[in-house]
Chains A and B, each alone.
Chain A
Amino acid sequence: MTGALADTWWWPYVMILVAGWLATDVWRWIGVFAGGKLREDSEMLIWVRCVATALVAGLIAKLILFPQGVLADTPLWLRLAAAGFGFAAFLVSRQKVIVGVLVAEVLLISGWLLLDGVI
């Protein structure tokens, strides 16, 4: 059934509307209705912010350890070193995000090119 449907031009748009837009925005709407009663300084909100922060942190670690696409071809230690030294540079530079990002990128690209040259 899906085989025949998947061949029509409009099927991908149904997928994008239902499985993409609706499946994503529904969480934001639930968040609006659930969050409406919380006060800015309540203990409950501190907890919710902890949950959200830990969740995004988990996503960050996943993007570095189990990346999608071509980044998955690089050795794990190179990605960890690039991100780790980038974050250290960010802290040392009195929390300048641009410094952290640049250091990580320079390490990744130079490490990648060096490894390519060796192999």
Chain B
Amino acid sequence: MPPPDRAVTFDAADQDLPGRVWMLRGARAAISLPAFILTAAFVGYAGLARESGLTLVETLAMTGLIWALPSIVVLTGALSSGMGLIPAAIAVALASVRLMPMTIAFLPLIKIPGKTKTWQLLLASHFVAVTAWVYGMKHLPNFPKEGRLPFFIGFGGAVTCFVFCITGIAYLMVERMPPVVAGALFLLTPVYFLCSLWGAAQLSVDKVALAVGLVLGPVLYLYVPGLDLLWTGLIGGTVAYLGTRIIRRGLS
């Protein structure tokens, strides 16, 4: 497996490379630990989908169209319990709210004001999910601005295609997964998120936000289930921001 930091450096000649080259580089960088772990998580999901009575086509449609594992798990539960369209849409929307602040925070990284077209950003935004987001926040700042959007689309597209295929294969091959294997696959995701989010933290304020969110998330889950993640983000993020701001620049 190649080290994840492999393609990070570039020289002055890279400045004028066409978008195609950056897209290919992104696709090549997708052969990485994050993609491997995400794939393993989706193999675990394929087992869950099969147990829940979903067909292969339904499982694949959800993988490709939604592209955010927590939301996929929520919709799987809704489908297997026969939930109505509106309640299911609300449940999934609540599980996906996090994608909005993530996209907002990500956008200035890939957007060149006055040059990048909106449809390009809308296309790229589909790949905003924790794996690609964490990878992008960590590595994209090292690239010239022109290369970031095509690199990210190449990366996201390649990971999506790969995970899509493996999910289908896993659905067909895994009749019944041993519980230890399924459980180990489920634990991969949070531990990987935790380590890579810490690694991607650019400032100490990001690390404070991470720590506050870890504590606040479960507490709010018990008190305001459904809206818990949104409140965790708003309260935890604001506390972390204000706390470190006072340290950074005093009470101005």
Which A residues contact B (CB, under 8 angstroms)?
Answer: 2-3, 6, 12-32, 34-36, 38-40, 43, 45-71, 73-74, 79, 82-83, 86-87, 90-91, 95, 97-98, 100-101, 104-105, 108-109, 112-113
Q: Is the CB of A66 within 8 A of B71?
A: no
CA of A49 to CA of B126, assembled, Å: 18
Q: Which chain A residue shows the least CB distance to B84? A: A2
Q: Is the CB of B217 within 8 A of A104?
A: no
- Chain B min CB distance to A93 (Å): 10
Further contacts, 5 of them, CB under 8 A, given A61-B218, A108-B184: A20-B66, A54-B232, A54-B235, A58-B228, A59-B190
Given contacts A32-B121, A32-B125, A52-B98, A58 and B216 within 8 Å (CB-CB): yes
User: Which residues 80-103 of B sit at the A interface, judged by CB distance below 8 A?
Assistant: 82, 84-85, 88-93, 96-103
Which B residues contact A (CB, under 8 angstroms)?
Answer: 1, 4, 33, 37, 44, 48, 54-55, 58, 61-62, 65-68, 70-73, 75, 78-79, 82, 84-85, 88-93, 96-109, 111, 118, 121-122, 125-126, 128, 130, 179-180, 182-184, 186-199, 201, 203, 205-206, 208-218, 220-221, 228-230, 232-238, 240-241, 245
Majority secondary structure, B binding face = helix
- Chain B min CB distance to A53 (Å): 4
Q: Is the CB of B198 within 8 A of A90?
A: yes
**CB-contact partner of B191 in A12, A57, A101, under 8 A:** A101
Task: Report chain B residues within 8 Å CB of A49.
Answer: 101, 105, 206, 209, 237
Q: Is the CB of B109 within 8 A of A86?
A: no
Q: Is the CB of B221 within 8 A of A66?
A: yes
Q: Is the CB of B89 within 8 A of A47?
A: no
CA of A55 to CA of B108, assembled, Å: 20
Q: Is the CB of A16 within 8 A of B105?
A: no
Q: Which chain B residue shows the least CB distance to A113? A: B180
Q: Is the CB of A22 within 8 A of B191?
A: no
- Chain A min CB distance to B74 (Å): 9
Task: Report chain A residues within 8 Å CB of B183.
Answer: 69-71, 73-74, 108, 112
Q: Is the CB of B107 within 8 A of A20?
A: no
Task: Report chain A residues within 8 Å CB of B192.
Answer: 97, 100-101
- Chain A min CB distance to B146 (Å): 15
